[in-house]
Structure 1
Amino acid sequence: MPQSDTIETVGKNEAEERERIVQQVAKELNLSLKQVRTTISLLDEGNTIPFIARYRKEMTGELDENQLRDIEERNHYLRNLEDRKHEVIRIIAEQNKLTEELEAAIRKAVKLQEVEDLYRPYRQKRKTRASVAKEKGLEPLAEWLLSQPKQGDPLAEAAKYIDPDKGVETAEEALQGAMDIVAESIADEAATRAWVRKYTMEHGMMVSEAKAPEAESVYEMYYNYRESAKKMPSHRILAMNRGEREDVLKVSLEVDAEMIHRHIAGRWIKGGSATSGVLQSTIEDAYKRLIAPSIEREVRGELTERAEQQAITIFAANLRSLLLQPPVRGKCVLGVDPAYRTGCKLAVVDDTGKLLEVAVVYPTPPNNKKREAAAKVGELIDRYGVSLIVIGNGTASRETEQFIAEVIAERKGKELAYLIVNEAGASVYSASKLAQEEFPDLDVAERSAVSIARRLQDPLAELVKIEPKAIGVGQYQHDVSQKQLDESLTAVVESAVNHVGVDVNTASPSLLSYVSGVNATTAKNIVKFREENGRFQSRKQLQKVPRLGAKTYEQCIGFMRINGGEHPLDRTPIHPESYDVVSRLFAELGVGLDQLGSKELAARLAALKPEELAERLEVGVPTLRDILDSLQRPGRDPREELPLPIFRTDVLKIEDLAPGMELQGTVRNVIDFGAFVDIGIKNDGLVHISQLSKSFVKHPMDVVSVGDTVTVWVLSVDVKKGRVGLTMVSPQDSKAQ
């Protein structure tokens, strides 16, 4: 065949494969072929998901980011699957063992596990009992056993293979070797493995027991525990796994072996044969020695994978909610990083986040210098007009909170409040290279105090400086695939940053690096260009930044904001490619860009019907809808529509609580079995999933998100353990049930 024809055939086959993938993804995700085909094409062209979701809605049929990521993930998996199929077919063909039936089965497989099962008999193995038996020439005896003759004596047949030169001394040895060969054949058969795997998943019981039953540990509930494997929630699977890794628990997967023996026998043994007894023993050996251990690993691996995916999903959703907390603007803030012996570090930042002053005070044990500390805090409050104090929730936070509450109480009539914030990741940031560059003259704890203050003023801008997994809003995040976790959390941060948009004249390199299409190098180049040339006056100027090419510009520019620049539209989410649409729209309305932001223009725009306008303006309806929304509220920060956090002026102690007490709280973390709520005491209270609503709740995230302000009632108080049980079902509703 000419080379051109070969290339054409390969290209045709590849195109057919790609189309099959499109069809499968569309079927799995219940989307149209056009949506999937277009999305994959856009991704292949180097477009980012935030860009596609925002600026290519007509092309994808308005798919959201989650749907786009699902398509990306499945497309990636299926392409890798096709590559693996080609590799397996090539290897088996090189062994001259590829049949048409086997090739068809491999090509038809829809999961990687199916491909690996079909490849298993042909994989190069390390030395096994079966391979040793084959070297001794016992394969014909194994074939005789599998031929299942009506008559004959297996031991007598085996005697024919005695050969001391090959290491076969007795008939029993010969028979055992042949049984080892047959056992490996049974264990390697794809259909047998698939059935055993499915049966184990459906009927297996996860069982755990303590290695040292008398020892106390956090795993005590698993010291003598069993539960249906397929029904186990993800947090229990991950807890068992961790207990096993820490050598506290012994975990196994139990299943009815007799049922599996019967099924395999039904596949491999014919009735009335002379070798059926030997084959039955072989089946039992094959299952116990070869199939069961590997299937248990595979099933537990699949359960763990599902549990990890759930944990990652939980972490990602919590992280998004945390990142999109509303910024507290217009306040001069005093950040406090609490401590005992080394003192509380203070950092005052102005309403733009600029550091004004740092200090250290010692109001907590063992120093207890409250009077001096109060004087210093009061001095900072008066000097800079501090109206809000932010305390990290780490070591000594509650003692520090008590001190701050006393300071506030003494300053009657002053507008002053405090807030406890989750300081997770602050220490990671403060010791980072980024923090050293930002504050070279501060020590680690002082940088941490700055971070604590700033994360209230603009949570997103501050938290992007921290490695996402260091922000503690997940469950078992240290027990999951770190690569998958990093990928998922990076996608969440990217999504949040692009949802809000970035002021290109104030954004840090960390924030800019998460903008669609921008990498760390380009982000640094943007900041360097800004420092050398002054503020950006227009989006077009970004084209002059080194390494910011045409494709990067297209992907990022709609998410970049320039306030007070040359072009009024540069402060909106409208992409420059749509500026001419706005020009046509304003010409039709008879207004100018100078009226942007006025109430009169907003009212006129709100009255327009995109469906009627779109064709005249030569633009798609979804894009026009977004343009009109952006023009009505230019410069809008979507986070500002959310309620602000709860500010406090006095301390609540666990001893002050009583069942039935009504409180306002902030959701700190959402997990599979409930939500932790900050009600102003040392430890967050738990609202169990059963107490989130008077109606059935499938998952806590259906009801609450991180950062939500909620009304709760105290259910139970355990002062000794510092635990508080809460409910979001009011006492009146409870009585009515």
Structure 2
Amino acid sequence: MNIIEKLAMEFSIKISQVENTVQLIDEGNTIPFIARYRKEVTGGLSDVILRDLEERLNYLKNLETRKEEVIRIIEEQGKLTEELKVEIEKAEVLQRVEDLYKPYKQKKSTRASKAKEKGLEPLALLFFAQEIEAGSMEELAYPYVSEEKGVETVEEAIQGAMDIIAEKIADDPELTALVREKTQKAGLISTEAADEEEKTVYEMYYGHQEGIDKIPNHRVLAVNRGEKEKKLKVKVIAPIEELQAILEKQVVINEKSIFTELLKDTITDAYKRLIAPSIEREMRNNLTERAELEAVKVFAKNTEKLLMVPPVKGARIISIDPGYRTGCKVAVLNETGKLLAYTTVYPTEPKRDIAGTEATLKKLVEKFKINTIVIGNGTASRETEEVVENFIKKNGYDVNYTIVNEAGASVYSASKLATEEYPDLDVTTRGAMSLGRRLQDPLAELVKISPKSIGVGQYQHDIDQNLLNGALTNVVEDCVNRVGVDLNTASPSLLSYIAGINMGIAKNIVAYREEVGQFTARKELLKVAKLGEKTYKQCAGFMRIADGKNPLDATSVHPESYAAADTMLLKLGIDKEMIRQGGAKDIEERICETYPALKKAIIPNGKKGLEALAVLKETKEDPKKGLGKSIEKLADDIGIGAMTLKDIIEEIKKPGRDPREDTPAVVFRNDVRSFEDLKVDMELMGTVRNVVDFGAFVDIGVKNDGLVHISQISNKFIKHPMDAVAVGDTVKVKILSIDHDRHKIALTMKF
């Protein structure tokens, strides 16, 4: 297999793109670095495609390694034929390689191996050849009876031969493939109650059957959980008669043979005893693997959307972590997230000290000039929200408030990291701080928490944790590098996700920063312990210094491109200090003036520069019409790739642009509705909090999020809820039904 050609075909990209990308990966470059700073080399492949390509590359490399190993083992046994070698080499999936290897794999003691030890293999081969059409099997088996070898009767000899044939059938890769394909298409997953009298959340799966090739991923995970909790019995129901007929058609080649009935019985034994258990395990494993991969994919997309929620700048915050008996923990934060004060109020039962709560809030709002109140969405959230909303209206304050998802806040507040960051604060105050900072900069705060604890997944505790952690780490890394970090304020947690940086180096960066006061240039990173040239190349472009010596240090322009950027600025007559003052907004016009890409028919006598621009204006041609070609000419002149130059231009036009600005802004509430106030057909605006295979959960202002089932998301057909909605989206919904006993709300987005 040519891995490069296969990847090019699978990803519909050029062979040169794959070759260059593989070389960059093999050299140890990180995906964020390759995606951002090696666009010319990869042809502009995105970080998403690069991640997928790297994953597929690793699979194919492992596949080739396994092929070589299997060929070597079979060859050492002296059983490798040219035909078998070719079959192994052309296998495109690992399962096929293992099927081909199965007959040669060293097994533990089996009925067939014991029969072979007794010298019965020649008899089995005689039976399997099916060439004899007259006589009796007993006569043929009699010579194999031997007390010395442990074969005391003719019946034992025949049974031993059958055992050998049964294993031969079960080990045949082509027969296995046929059974697998038929079971996949026609098999059923059957679920029953472990105790039919017991009422559980799995009642919908009592006496339930569904096609293996049709059961959706979320039901696979639900069934697995029910089985694990011993509430469900799960089994695979295969079309046994059809499968045995398929096997008989392949194995029985001479109906006139005296061994026909014996072989049919052996086929039944081979299927029930050897093939079926293996295939059924495989079916369950494949379903689980498929469901886990999809769950991880959904989780990763949700996590990305949550991390890329735009920060609320300039927010001076009162952050409230609601509670009942122990009260509501309050933390006051300035615009940069610094803790100014903290206390506890008791607006909820059992104390319900609303007057005292309002007095405390009034004092904090006026003393610290608060403009935003944040409330966690957990226990007592609705009651606390009602008090806050009434407090704002009563006092006429110009203060917004919003509800923040507090999933994972308790995990962070009790973590070793939180203890190291705030050793003098108790767990509850740390939790309240975390909620406020999630609003100010979701990315910077949420990286401190394990992604699987932030509440945007589906069955996250039931799936392969290594698979989940790997995918989520990649998502966080891509988000952090896409946004970039302030080198003089970023926490070790945030820095550790920058390309090439681990937690050890991140802590060294912070230690160096504390020692010297602050970084004034990116190149100072080379003075940080254990951060060498190789790591510097990977990380430098993602680090920002707001007021450094070189204005380019505040942008995503990589230091390796500084010389090219300086040359461009000089050619265009742009003062580098404009970068500090908000960027060169007219840079594209300057490029068109200096490097016009005009049609020859429009520009006579090869006129250039301002003269050419004048011609353009006279002909009423848009000066920026040929911008792409102008940039290409400028890139050639400077000696840099056009893609890289375009990125530099975007940065100089708008330095340090935050990609999160493109996502929906936070919705601030100025109303409140209790669960009891909700009515069927009521129309509301809400925020998507989670997206799963079967629908989307929407926060409509009460404690429990409502569910928009996939069938209610769009008037058009969609394969997955993510085709229409994403975490953080603001959506209009209508209430379909309300379950007051279980506090469940069914919503629709169809109007």
Question: Counterpart of 1:434?
Answer: 417
Q: Percent identity?
A: 55
Aligned mates of 1:74, 1:598 — CA distance in 2 = 45
- Alpha-carbon RMSD across the aligned residues, in angstroms, is 1.6
SS of the aligned residue for 2:564 comes to helix
SS of the aligned residue for 2:584 comes to helix
Aligned mates of 2:181, 2:30 — CA distance in 1 = 38
**Within-5 A mapping of 1:129-528:** 129-148=111-130, 149-271=132-254, 272-411=256-395, 413-528=396-511
User: Kindly tell me: are residues 27 and 642 of structure 1, through their superposed partners in 2, closer, same or farther at Cα, counting changes over 3 Å?
Assistant: closer
Read off the aligned partner of 1:522 and give its amino acid letter: I
Question: Counterpart of 1:4?
Answer: none
Question: Counterpart of 1:66?
Answer: 48
Of residues 336-345 and 712-721 in structure 1, the stretch that sits farther from structure 2 once superposed is 712-721
Structure 1, residues 436-459: CA drift from partner, whole Å, max 9, x if none? Answer: 011101111111111111111000
Question: What is the deviation of 1:607?
Answer: 6.5
Structure 1, residues 594-631: CA drift from partner, whole Å, max 9, x if none? Answer: 22366893123266422332212222121111111111
Does structure 1 residue 113 correspond to structure 2 residue 95?
yes
Read off the aligned partner of 1:131 and give its amino acid letter: S
Of 672, 687, 703 in structure 2, the residue corresponding to residue 682 of structure 1 is: 703
Question: What is the deviation of 1:708?
Answer: 1.0
Read off the aligned partner of 2:253 and give its amino acid letter: K
Read off the aligned partner of 1:138 and give its amino acid letter: L
Structure 1, residues 116-164: CA drift from partner, whole Å, max 9, x if none? Answer: 1111111121111111222222222211211212223123322332333
Question: Counterpart of 1:5?
Answer: none
User: Kindly tell me: are residues 186 and 606 of structure 1, through their superposed partners in 2, closer, same or farther at Cα, counting changes over 3 Å?
Assistant: farther
Question: What is the deviation of 1:716?
Answer: 2.2
Question: What is the deviation of 1:424?
Answer: 1.0
User: Kindly tell me: are residues 398 and 606 of structure 1, through their superposed partners in 2, closer, same or farther at Cα, counting changes over 3 Å?
Assistant: farther
The question of whether the paired residues in 1 share the 8 Å contact of 2:583 and 2:653 is answered with no
Question: What is the deviation of 1:66?
Answer: 1.4
Read off the aligned partner of 1:119 and give its amino acid letter: Y
Does structure 1 residue 670 correspond to structure 2 residue 691?
yes
Aligned mates of 1:628, 1:162 — CA distance in 2 = 88
The question of whether the paired residues in 2 share the 8 Å contact of 1:606 and 1:632 is answered with no
Gaps of at least 5 residues in structure 1 are 1-16, 731-737
Aligned mates of 2:584, 2:421 — CA distance in 1 = 42
Read off the aligned partner of 2:732 and give its amino acid letter: T
Aligned mates of 1:719, 1:360 — CA distance in 2 = 32
Aligned mates of 1:203, 1:501 — CA distance in 2 = 51
The question of whether the paired residues in 2 share the 8 Å contact of 1:667 and 1:710 is answered with yes
Does structure 1 residue 575 correspond to structure 2 residue 545?
no
Aligned mates of 1:198, 1:729 — CA distance in 2 = 40
Question: What is the deviation of 1:61?
Answer: 0.9
TM-score (norm 1): 0.94
Of residues 490-499 and 654-663 in structure 1, the stretch that sits farther from structure 2 once superposed is 654-663
SS of the aligned residue for 1:164 comes to coil
Does structure 1 residue 707 correspond to structure 2 residue 728?
yes
Aligned mates of 2:214, 2:529 — CA distance in 1 = 54
Question: What is the deviation of 1:81?
Answer: 1.1
Read off the aligned partner of 1:676 and give its amino acid letter: F
Of 66, 73, 76 in structure 1, the residue corresponding to residue 58 of structure 2 is: 76
TM-score (norm 2): 0.92
Aligned mates of 2:19, 2:135 — CA distance in 1 = 62
Read off the aligned partner of 1:364 and give its amino acid letter: T
Aligned mates of 1:158, 1:708 — CA distance in 2 = 76
User: Kindly tell me: are residues 174 and 112 of structure 1, through their superposed partners in 2, closer, same or farther at Cα, counting changes over 3 Å?
Assistant: same
SS of the aligned residue for 2:410 comes to helix
User: Kindly tell me: are residues 536 and 598 of structure 1, through their superposed partners in 2, closer, same or farther at Cα, counting changes over 3 Å?
Assistant: closer
Structure 1, residues 474-523: CA drift from partner, whole Å, max 9, x if none? Answer: 11111111111111000000000011110000000000000011111111
Aligned mates of 1:366, 1:126 — CA distance in 2 = 66
SS of the aligned residue for 1:717 comes to strand
Read off the aligned partner of 2:164 and give its amino acid letter: I
User: Kindly tell me: are residues 365 and 159 of structure 1, through their superposed partners in 2, closer, same or farther at Cα, counting changes over 3 Å?
Assistant: farther
Question: What is the deviation of 1:690?
Answer: 2.1
User: Kindly tell me: are residues 466 and 599 of structure 1, through their superposed partners in 2, closer, same or farther at Cα, counting changes over 3 Å?
Assistant: closer
Gaps of at least 5 residues in structure 2 are 592-626
Does structure 1 residue 94 correspond to structure 2 residue 76?
yes
Aligned mates of 1:555, 1:62 — CA distance in 2 = 18
Read off the aligned partner of 2:137 and give its amino acid letter: P
Aligned mates of 2:421, 2:586 — CA distance in 1 = 44
Aligned mates of 2:242, 2:475 — CA distance in 1 = 46
The question of whether the paired residues in 2 share the 8 Å contact of 1:659 and 1:715 is answered with yes
SS of the aligned residue for 2:490 comes to coil
The question of whether the paired residues in 1 share the 8 Å contact of 2:493 and 2:503 is answered with yes
The question of whether the paired residues in 2 share the 8 Å contact of 1:674 and 1:700 is answered with yes
Aligned mates of 1:607, 1:655 — CA distance in 2 = 62
User: Kindly tell me: are residues 498 and 599 of structure 1, through their superposed partners in 2, closer, same or farther at Cα, counting changes over 3 Å?
Assistant: closer
The question of whether the paired residues in 1 share the 8 Å contact of 2:303 and 2:475 is answered with yes
Question: Counterpart of 1:656?
Answer: 677
The question of whether the paired residues in 2 share the 8 Å contact of 1:502 and 1:561 is answered with yes
Does structure 1 residue 548 correspond to structure 2 residue 531?
yes
Aligned mates of 2:64, 2:16 — CA distance in 1 = 22
Structure 1, residues 393-423: CA drift from partner, whole Å, max 9, x if none? Answer: 2222222222322322332x21123211111
Aligned mates of 2:559, 2:460 — CA distance in 1 = 40
SS of the aligned residue for 1:602 comes to coil
How many residue pairs end up in the alignment?
Answer: 711
Read off the aligned partner of 1:708 and give its amino acid letter: D
Aligned mates of 1:590, 1:607 — CA distance in 2 = 8
Question: Counterpart of 2:650?
Answer: 629
Question: Counterpart of 2:104?
Answer: 122
**Within-5 A mapping of 1:26-37:** 26-37=8-19
Read off the aligned partner of 2:524 and give its amino acid letter: Q
Question: What is the deviation of 1:250?
Answer: 1.2
Question: What is the deviation of 1:193?
Answer: 0.8
Read off the aligned partner of 2:219 and give its amino acid letter: R
Question: What is the deviation of 1:176?
Answer: 1.2
Does structure 1 residue 594 correspond to structure 2 residue 615?
no
Aligned mates of 1:385, 1:176 — CA distance in 2 = 90
Question: Counterpart of 1:560?
Answer: 543
